[in-house]
Structure 1
Amino acid sequence: MSDSTKEVIQEPKPKGSNKSIYFIVLGVLVVLLVIKVVLDQKEKSELTDYYTTELEASQQKLDRISEELAQKIHDIDSLGGDITELLATQKEIEKERKQLQNTRQANRQLIGRLRRKTDGYQELLKEKDKEITRLTKLSEELFAENTNLKEDKNELSRSIVSLNENKKELEDKVAVASRLKAEGIHIYAVAKNGKERESIFKNRHLKQLKVIFNIAKNDVAPLEGKEIIIRIVDKNGQVVFDINKGSGSFMLDGKETFYTASKDVLFDNSNQQLSFLYDKGSDYESGVYKMEVFTDGYLMGAKSFTVK
């Protein structure tokens, strides 16, 4: 047999084997596609959960920032600081919070924007903490200064009160020291013939009553006009007076009382002598009488005499 006859005649492959390979490859691709879809869906779900969690965290962070901001506004305003910027920020945060409440699905852009916003707000709060510290320190310094000023004011008030009390005390002393005094008082009974008698009087010798005294020198008293008043009081405490003969009334210890006679003089600090002559017009009842000298509502001097 020749070589040509020895060639082995190859049998053609069956068409079914190609189809098997095709279906195997197709199956693998489908499996891979299913796996990819499942993995993509899982990744999407995980990403959605992540964004949702981040959104909730951002909302909570905004809530905390809003509360802190409200407290900062109160603190700075109570310390007298400027809250214009904080009020604008508060308004912006409230707007952000409302937008988040209406957001149903978060995304990367939203989360990124919220992070930047909250970071900025927190940085602002830190700056305002520094401002509150500064304002608090300033307020404490001002309070200390104000306390010192109040203490100085109180001390000044006490000093003024003390000065006024001393002034009043000095004025009272001056007022007492400036009071005029009647000295060298003499009382005479003047008879019809003009004869004067001193000591115990009898009615027949007592046509008129004469009073003489000097105003003692007083360097403290001002040189000015004075109304000098004499008052004759009987044993029953009744004042001898007659309106038709120059008697009148004056205030003594807050009460109105009668006087017997008066005279206007200019006090000149010369130890000047004054003389009063009073005609009662009727007999005096027996007893002890008291003659008193007044001016400006105070007693200058007094002396008693007796009528029998």
Structure 2
Amino acid sequence: MKNKSPLMIVAVVLAVLLLVAVGFGVTQVASLKSQVQQAQLQNEELRLDNEQLQLSNEFGVLNSEFQQYEDQAQRLANDTILAKYTAAKAKVEQLMNELKSEKVKSQARIKELQNEIATLKGLLRHYIAQIDSLNRENAGLKAENSEIKAQNEQLSSRVREETRKNENLSERMTLAEKLNVTGVTLTPLKKNGKTEKNVTKAKQLMVKFTIPQNNSTPVGEKTIYMRLVSPEGQLLGGGGSFPFEGKSVPCTARKNIEYSGDEITGITIYWDVNTALTPGEYTVELFTDGYRLTSRRFTLKK
């Protein structure tokens, strides 16, 4: 009986640890799923914004074309088309104002706006056909059409530029999540490489971490840059510098790794102590590929 009691205790402790690990894993999966869903929602919002911009530009082109013929309306025997065009134009303006005021765009409202724009195009074509039949001798009409085409090309160029910006934004959002680090630790070491509890006596500081598996990350050699900041806010330097957000940023140390998409455990970066260390809160930052991977704080005691 005396031998069974400790075994039961160990079994209970292991079961509790297993439940904690499972709970942590479930939480991490849920968090990742939430991030993916958030990115998808943002991309959908960008796509709808771009569609609305394209339709707004098309509407501007239609109005530019219509204004070229508006002063000739009295020459038409039947102004029914003009009345229909005015009504459809008012509907388009109403839809665009509604979409501008909505934080989340509606695909259904975008589709309705597309249909109304298509109606306007059809009405405008019919309207222009009637006007042209009365003004075929107007030599200046060709010049006006050329000017409208130039305006249309300018608007199309703006749409292409906005589309490119949206694509770049989506690409950066994706790249920012490609590489991750977990299990970051900061440990003072003695001269023989063993743990030193008193930071003031440490000969080295060791940062250790894991890079999880991620098949979407480009493989190849990567340089991990580490920054260690003391409790006094001073960078523990000596590792040169690296480019980040258009600037040259000094670092404490660096390490090259070969990344193949698989998990890499036990990555260590060392810094040889060359100044007096004090107890307090130290900050560890890791960078690669132009992104800050993590920023963690650790309290080291005397």
TM-score (norm 2): 0.48
